């Protein structure tokens, strides 16, 4: 396993170390999903909601295109 693979495995494991306790403790605002809802104003129309949602949609569209076609990397 090279250094890059080890780093990505470490990153993924770190995500689960943070996310799993947050999923099972049933508190508000601790999971990544709950943070995305807040950051991108998905529940309400907070200030800048159009720009935030456009950034989310654009980022997700790029990510899908990147995975499917390897554009940008």
Question: pLDDT tens digits for 34-70?
Answer: 999 999 888 888 888 899 999 999 999 999 999 999 8
Number of domains in the chain: 1
Burial (0-12, 13-18, 19+ Cβ within 10 Å), 56: middle
Q: What one-character-per-residue DSSP string does 15-70 give?
A: HHHHHHHHHHH--TT-SHHHHHHHHTT-SS--TTHHHHHHHHHHHHHHHHHHHHH-
The values of phi and psi at residue 44, to 5°, are: -140, 180
Is 22 a member of any domain?
Answer: no
Is 33 a member of any domain?
Answer: no
pLDDT band (50, 70, 90) for residue 72: low
50, 58 Cβ separation under 8 angstroms: no
Is 56 a member of any domain?
Answer: yes
Is 21 a member of any domain?
Answer: no
Residue range(s) defining the domain that contains residue 73 = 40-73
pLDDT band (50, 70, 90) for residue 71: confident
């Amino acid at each position: 396993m090279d250094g890059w693979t080890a780093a990505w495995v470490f990153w993924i494991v770190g995500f689960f170390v943070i996310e799993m306790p947050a999923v099972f403790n049933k508190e508000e605002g601790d999971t990544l999903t709950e943070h995305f809802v807040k950051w991108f104003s998905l529940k309400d129309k907070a200030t800048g909601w159009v720009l935030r949602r456009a950034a989310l949609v654009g980022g997700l569209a790029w990510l899908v295109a990147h995975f499917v076609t390897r554009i940008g990397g």
